[in-house]
Chains A and B, each alone.
Chain A
Amino acid sequence: MKNKLLLIVCLALAMLQACVKDEEKVFGASAAERMNEALNNLRNTLVAAPNGWAAEYYPEGDRSMGGYNFLWKFNEDGTVQIAGEVATTNYVTGEAVISHYEVIANRGVLLSFNTYNEVFHFFSEPRGATDVDGYAGDHEFVLRECTPERIVMTGKKRGNILLLTPYDGDASTWETYLKQFKALDEKFTAPVYLVKVDGTVAAIERVTRKDRTFQFEYGKAEDNKIVPYITTPTGIKLYEPLTVNGKTAQYFTFNELEEELVSEDPGSNITIKMAWLPLNEVFASTVKQWFFDSGQPLPQSDMCAPLAEAIRTANAHIEKKENENILFIYIGKGLSNSYTGHSVNFACSANGIKYYTAIYAFKFINVADTGDQVHLEYTGPQGNGAYINYLDAFTPVINLIKDKSPYRLTSKNLKNPAELTFTSVADPNFYFVLTL
């Protein structure tokens, strides 16, 4: 009898225990129901904006190109109209292109632009053998926050933040809206900048711009900083707040008269002021590539006859020896993985896609106190050995360039040169033109 009693008490206790373990529901609905609700919410919110959404989009995982503005209008039939500020092969700035989108469950709520849109996928398609990931932009985004006032997402592969805010103009204003950014961006383009906090220049060795980033150099490479931004109708917005000398700012207005960007954030007082350099300093410190026109038959760009002849001869040489042609020639910072220093580069290709680069390293030296003279000092072939096959062909061209140094530089635009004419100081008949 006692045993029976014990059994029943145990049974009752076990059941009590079962009740105690019954967990309170933290959420009002199941995970699947909440996911469906979130999917529907994003779909409905995207479609609900009557004039579409203004998007702040950052390609490249390290945001090394900065940000670009888009306008997106989502439709209920699964199509989306996209216009961007960057002109592509077939579309001008602000021209809308239609493609498809989908909101699906994948790592959370995912927005995917899943058929090709030339304007949008410009940033997310490969660009040939030397740039296999192109501008490394995302075309799928994971939702973080969704309200009618703003939608925040992160790129699925690169993780960059994408911010959407409702656009308040109608469709007829898209083009004007998107065109203003490039125009403004060009207005504050300068070779270098001075960053000032409370009117005092901050201790940054050099501030330059590349695409939509400011590059802060501090003397040691590991201290250098990339400050990505996106252009706004009145100035710029940094990807994340910047702190210099204890002051923090994210939003800047451009003051055209003073040639500076002025921080808007309360109490910040940071300015980024445009500064100008003599032409030889611009070239000697270049981080860009200055090209000979690479149209066929080579060379198409403006240059003196002896150099043109040397290039033609070199081309004939490699055509005969390697069955290849010169694809392009540039002087400046090397693009090859094997050498990124200052150099003269000849890219040669058999099919116009895959190419090998013959790299000849040079030092670009300012001729002191001239302001416009640069000496090109040849220091030898560089790279992974591709030059060996081409050495015979290009040596005469290299010899000409080095023998005629130093050069006097001229440009149509002294503040922001996009083209440079090199004229030999010793032989004024020897010249060539390079363009960015």
Chain B
Amino acid sequence: MKKIILYLFAWSLLVGAWSCNKNEISSNSIFDAPAAPQNAFDKWLLMNYTYPYNIDFKYKLDDIESNLTYQLAPAKAENSVAMAKLIKYLWLEVYDQVGGITFTRTYVPRIILLVGSSGINPNGTELLGTAEGGLKITLYKVNELDIKALNINLLNEYYFKTIHHEFAHILHQTKNYSSDFLQISSTDYIGEAWNDKDESLSKAYKLGFVSQYARKSVDEDFVEILAMYVTSTVTQWNAILTLAGADGRPKIEQKFEIVKDYLTTSWNIDIVALRDAVQERSALIGNLDLTL
């Protein structure tokens, strides 16, 4: 009997071993898909964005990364080169200068995505930029950039107000600002109606906002103060304060003080130094080589 048991046991082991033999691990790697060829710009991005800032600068439109509700066109390759250089000069290096490179590296979004066209809403408004959870900034209308005739006001209007605006969102989403800010204009936030025909820019100024869009919500108001302040010259900022008049000016000044204090205490950044750095560099963009 014992022999039979032994045979049966040996036999069952053999069967077991044989059944295992059938599942060999394939010697072929599943990761042998050849990478897309790297061009000179890809290599430049590696040295100037990926290594120093750990940023994935996406200039080739990957539809899955973009907003699927809009019809979008990719960015022109030559405009992407110019944009990459301008963003580095007018934004990343400004924060390096004022907040230190560690600050910049830590808080900049991990992805910058360029889109050639704007995303146009059916109500006629345009999407100029979005930030998602501190991870990604998407810039639209890159194909509108006129490399041969750079105009800092247009650059600010289309791109850099947006970049500073979205970065400010990342900052306040990381460390919140004082709730006192909400009290200043609490009844004047109007959501999507900010773009209505009757809600003009001059009305926004007089109510104590630095832009029409700032009326959308308190967070937008907060980041618009930062974006408008750093991208405006002293003269331009004073003009806004003048246009705001007796009612609007004190509110804008109150809001500005909260933003200034927030940047100093939360991030050790002097907003005036930040503005000065942006303005000094803005005056020099004509000297930049925006080609590879």
Contacts and interface: CB of A to CB of B under 8 A. Distances in A.
Given A29-B28, A125-B116, A15 B72 contact: no
B37 A78 contact: yes
A102 interface: yes
Interface residues of B, number: 50
Q: Which of B18, B30, B39, B73 has the most CB of A within 10 A?
A: B73
B117 interface: yes
Number of contact residues on A: which range applies?
35 or more
Nearest to A29: B28
Interface stretch (A30-38, A159-167, A420-428): A30-38
Given A33-B30, A156-B63, A12 B12 contact: yes
Interface in B94-134: 116-124
A129 B124 contact: yes
B16 A115 contact: no
A30 B61 contact: no
B70 A132 contact: yes
Given A132-B122, A140-B63, A115 B12 contact: no
Contacts of B64: 106
A116 B116 contact: yes
B124 A353 contact: yes
B9 A132 contact: no
Given A8-B12, A12-B12, A139 B120 contact: no
A77 B22 CA distance: 42
A126 B120 contact: yes
Q: Is the interface of B mostly helix, strand, loop or mixed?
A: loop
B117 A126 contact: yes
A129 B124 CA distance: 4
A102 B19 CA distance: 43
A114 to B, nearest CB: 4
Contacts of B121: 132
A121 B117 CA distance: 10
A102 B60 CA distance: 9
B180 interface: no
A220 interface: no
Contacts of A116: 73-77, 79, 116, 143
Contact of A36 (B33, B37, B117, B124): B33
Interface in B51-109: 59-64, 70-77, 79-80
Interface in A120-139: 121, 124-126, 128-129, 132-134, 136, 139
B32 interface: yes
Contacts of A182: none
A18 interface: yes
Given A77-B37, A133-B71, A15 B15 contact: yes
Q: Which of B1, B9, B37, B120 has the most CB of A within 10 A?
A: B120
A108 to B, nearest CB: 13
B8 interface: yes
Q: Lowest 3 CB-CB distances: which A-B pairs, in order?
A: A32-B30, A125-B73, A129-B124
14 contacts: A15-B16, A16-B15, A18-B16, A19-B18, A36-B30, A102-B60, A114-B62, A116-B74, A121-B74, A126-B119, A126-B120, A353-B124, A354-B124, A356-B197
Given A5-B4, A105-B33, A112-B60, 6 more contacts: A8-B5, A15-B16, A36-B32, A78-B39, A132-B70, A139-B63
